[in-house]
């Protein structure tokens, strides 16, 4: 017993060790994006030294065997498929969150939390297979012909629909938590002054939760922007700038995932794919930085 007591670390040393490990963990998380970005820049340098940055970002000429590395079509593919997923998912998630937190019975809200957990746990490849089996034939055989168009179904719209469904659990869960966090006293005060229930939601609940709503929507966009497997299975993987939602595209994550195994036989191909990852990293970094600046200005107001 005495020997065991001697092994017990004094409380002040235990506190110092705990503080040290906590600081190391936080420092690791802070430095992680910097380490990732630095690694991508280093791996991209061979390509950046050979080809001007402006030429790569503005050209759509992609022919690695001939040394042509134009990323514009891939950037536009990523931007369009992300915008489509956001347009399709954001209104549905916001309206659903309002209904589930303000109108629906408790049992339905609890059931929806279970559904959200199930959707969030489904692997992305399953969403991709579902897109190939359901979304692609639906667009090719029914939607496009009804509009007088022809498409194989492997197009931007298929990618946007699949990504929108994948983003729903993350956006909806966060939106519900944001709306539930609005103090009930504010709603009661609004109702006591004669406002209707919808006016209270519009002018009190949504305004009070505006910063959280923007953060939730930006989380959904970030999720869609970096998704790989599901989108490459349904978007067509065609290296050209799409002119309509029924055209095929080739987003940056799909480019990296599809070609990484072939990079060793072509000069600069390794560096080109690392540069594609760097572009994706910079886009997400800029998007989140702009969102945080916007949220900071809203809080200041």
Separation CA 56–CA 164 (nearest Å): 29
Residue 145 pLDDT level (bands cut at 50, 70, 90): very high
* Across 147-173, average pLDDT: 90
The region, left, alpha or beta by phi > 0 then psi within -120 to 50, assigned to residue 75 is alpha
At 250 the three-state DSSP class reads coil
Given a cut of 70, whether residue 169 has pLDDT beyond it is yes
Contacts of 94 (CB under 8 A, 6+ apart): 175, 213, 217
* Across 154-167, average pLDDT: 92
* Across 166-185, average pLDDT: 89
Given a cut of 90, whether residue 132 has pLDDT beyond it is yes
Separation CA 164–CA 86 (nearest Å): 6
- Each residue's pLDDT tens digit, 8-34: 566 667 777 777 788 888 888 889 989
Q: Where are the alpha helices (DSSP H) in the chain?
A: 2-7, 11-50, 53-58, 72-102, 106-121, 124-130, 136-138, 144-146, 156-180, 184-192, 197-200, 206-208, 210-226, 229-234, 252-259, 269-300
Given a cut of 60, whether residue 150 has pLDDT beyond it is yes
For 174, the token pair is 């966060």
Given a cut of 90, whether residue 88 has pLDDT beyond it is yes
pLDDT number for residue 6: 54
Q: Taking Cα atoms as reference points, which of 183, 167, 155 lies closest to residue 248?
A: 155
Q: Taking Cα atoms as reference points, which of 170, 168, 166, 146 lies closest to residue 158?
A: 166
* Across 213-227, average pLDDT: 81
Window from 128-142, 170-184, 225-239 with minimum mean pLDDT: 225-239
Given a cut of 90, whether residue 133 has pLDDT beyond it is yes
Residue 191 pLDDT level (bands cut at 50, 70, 90): confident
What share of the chain has pLDDT > 70, as a percent?
92
Beta-carbon-side half-sphere exposure of residue 240 (alpha carbons within 13 Å): 10
Given a cut of 70, whether residue 158 has pLDDT beyond it is yes
- Each residue's pLDDT tens digit, 241-263: 888 899 999 988 888 888 876 66
Do the Cβ atoms of 131 and 216 come closer than 8 Å?
no
Q: Taking Cα atoms as reference points, which of 164, 150, 152, 162 lies closest to residue 248?
A: 152
- Each residue's pLDDT tens digit, 50-69: 888 888 899 888 888 888 88
């Amino acid at each position: 017993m005495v020997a065991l007591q001697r092994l017990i670390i004094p409380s002040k040393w235990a506190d110092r060790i705990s503080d040290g490990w906590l600081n190391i963990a936080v420092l690791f998380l802070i430095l992680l994006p910097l380490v990732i970005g630095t690694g991508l820049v280093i791996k991209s340098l061979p390509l950046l030294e050979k080809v001007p940055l402006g030429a790569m970002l503005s050209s759509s000429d992609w022919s690695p065997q001939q040394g042509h590395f134009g990323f514009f079509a891939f950037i536009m593919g990523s931007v369009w498929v992300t915008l489509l997923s956001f347009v399709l998912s954001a209104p549905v998630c916001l309206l659903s969150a309002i209904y589930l937190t303000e109108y629906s019975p408790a049992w339905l809200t609890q059931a929806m939390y279970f559904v959200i957990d199930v959707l969030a746990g489904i692997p992305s490849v399953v969403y991709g297979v579902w897109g190939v089996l359901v979304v692609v034939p639906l667009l090719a055989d029914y939607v496009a012909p009804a509009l007088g168009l022809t498409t194989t179904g492997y197009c931007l719209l298929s990618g946007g629909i699949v990504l929108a469904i994948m983003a729903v659990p993350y956006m909806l869960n966060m939106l519900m938590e944001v709306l539930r966090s609005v103090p009930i006293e504010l709603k009661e005060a609004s109702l006591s002054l004669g406002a209707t229930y919808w006016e209270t939601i519009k002018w009190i609940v949504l305004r009070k939760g505006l910063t959280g709503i923007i953060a939730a929507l930006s989380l959904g966009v970030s999720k869609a922007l970096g998704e790989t497997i599901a989108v490459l299975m349904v978007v067509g993987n065609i290296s050209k700038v799409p002119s309509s939602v029924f055209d095929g595209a080739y987003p940056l994550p799909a480019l990296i995932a599809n070609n990484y195994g072939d990079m060793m036989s072509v000069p600069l191909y390794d560096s080109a794919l690392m540069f594609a990852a760097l572009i994706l990293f910079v886009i997400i970094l800029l998007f989140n930085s702009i969102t945080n600046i916007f949220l900071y200005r809203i809080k200041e107001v």
